[in-house]
Amino acid sequence: MAEIHGRISAALERWQPKILRLSHAIHADPELSGEEFRAAKRAAVLLRAAGFSFDGPQPASPTAFTARYGNGQLVVALCVEYDALPAIGHACGHNVNAASAVGAALALAAVADDLGITVKVLGTPAEETTGGKVDLIEEGHFDDVALAMMAHAGAEDVIGGSSLAMCMWDVLYEGRPAHAAAAPAEGINALDALVVAQTAIALARQQLPPGSIVSLIVTEGGSAVNVIPERARASVEMRSPNLATLRVIEEKVRRCLEAGALASAATLKVTPAGNAYAELRQDSFLSEAYRAAMAVRGRDVTFNAKPVASTDMGNVSQLVPSIHPLLGYDVGGAAHHTAEFAAYGSSASADRAVLDGAFGLAAAASAAAGDPRQRARLLCGNSR
C-alpha cells in the first residue's frame, strides 16, 4: 500500500488549502438541519472542480446531493454531514466531518482508476434532527454502494464504537378549556394528561431494558393560570442499545402516554419526529485498516466498542459495511454540543484532524479495494 498511500498524501497536499477552506467556511457559517444550503453548495463546488459529476437522480432534499468519480465496480460512499445546532453553531464539529469526508473523496479520486472503484459522495443533511441518511437510503442512493464511511469530530481518536438506537416523538394532548375557578368541572385538563404520562414514564424506567434512556420535555402546558389547559405538548426521546430493545421501550412509553389520556379524558396524538436511528455497526476490516493508516500519520487510534450517542450512520451500517471513527483534536476538555466545543472547530489541531482523517478513510477504502478477499466480500454484499 505504500505507493497508494503516497498518491493519497500527494492528492491531499494538492487540495489541502481548499479542503481546509471548506472546513473553515462551514464552521464560520453554521446552518441548521435541513437548511444547509450554503454548506452543501460549498462542498459541491469543490467536488465539481475536482471532476466529480452530479448526473443522475438527485435526492429529494434540497440540501442533499450525490456526486461520483470513476467507473469502477466497487462503489465507495463518503457521507458528508454539515448541519449545526441552534444557538451554539458547530458544537458537534460537523464542519470537520464534512471536510474530512470531502478530502477523502478527493484523495480516492486520484487512485480510483487503478483500484477499480467509483467514489460516491453523499451530502447528508439533518443528522442532528430527522436523519437525512435514512431518507437517502429510502430513495435508493445507497443501493449501489459496497462500503460507506465518514469520520466524526471528537476529543480523541477512537474506532469500533457503537451508538444507541434512537427515536423521538411529538406528543399532543387535547382537552376542553374552562374557567379554572368558575367552572373547572366543565374542563378536560390536557396538562393533567401529560403530568400523568410523565409520572408513569418515570416509574416505568426501572423496568426498561438495560442501557435504555427516555427523555421528556414539556413544550406547551397552557396559556393562562386561570384557564384549564385545553392543549399540552411534549417531546419524548427514546434511546436503547439496539432497535429490538428500542421497540420494547416504544411500547412501554406509548402505554404511559395512553394512561394520561385515559385518566384525564383528553385525546392523544403521537407523531414521529423524523426517522428512527439504528445502532452503529463498524466493519472490523475497515476499522483495522483505518487504524493502521492513522498510525502512518502518527496517530494512535484507540479501539472502544462502547456506544456513544446516536447517529443515522447506524442505519447505513445496517445496510453496508461501514466505519464511523471519532477523529480527535484539542478541544480543551469541552464536551460535544457545547459552545466551548464549537470554538475549537477551526483550530490548527482541527485542521490537522481533517487532513489525517481524510487520509485514514481513503487508505482504509484503498486497502479493502486492493485486497481480493475483501473486494469479493464487499461486492458479494452489494449484490443484495
Residue 73 neighbours by CB under 8 Å, 6+ apart: 116, 117, 118, 379
Which ranges constitute the DSSP H helices of 29-67? 37-49
DSSP for 275-292 reads PPBPPP---HHHHHHHHH
Say what the pLDDT of residue 382 is.
64
- What type of residue is 14? R
In a 3-state reduction of DSSP, which class is residue 139? coil
- pLDDT tens readout for residues 165-195: 999 999 999 999 999 999 999 999 999 999 9
Q: Percent of the chain beyond pLDDT 90?
A: 97
Concatenated DSSP letters for 85-101?
A: BTTTBSTT-HHHHHHHH
pLDDT at 384: 46
Per-residue pLDDT of the chain (384 residues; tens, 9 = 90+): 899 999 999 999 999 999 999 999 999 999 999 999 999 999 999 999 999 999 889 999 999 999 999 999 999 999 999 999 999 999 999 999 999 999 999 999 999 999 999 999 999 999 999 999 999 999 999 999 999 999 999 999 999 999 999 999 999 999 999 999 999 999 999 999 999 999 999 999 999 999 999 999 999 999 999 999 999 999 999 999 999 999 999 999 999 999 999 999 999 999 999 999 999 999 999 999 999 999 999 999 999 988 888 999 999 999 999 999 999 999 999 999 999 999 999 999 999 999 999 999 999 999 999 999 999 999 997 644
Q: What is the pLDDT of residue 308?
A: 80
Domains of the chain in sequence order: 2-163+277-381 (3.40.630.10), 165-272 (3.30.70.360)
| Predicted pLDDT at 371 | 97
C-alpha cell at position 267: 385525546
| pTM attached to this predicted model | 0.94
Give the side-chain half-sphere CA count within 13 A for 204: 24
Residue 337: what are its φ and ψ, rounded to 5°? 65, 35
Q: List the beta bridge partners of residue 285.
A: none
Composition of the chain by helix, strand, coil, percent to 5: 45, 20, 35
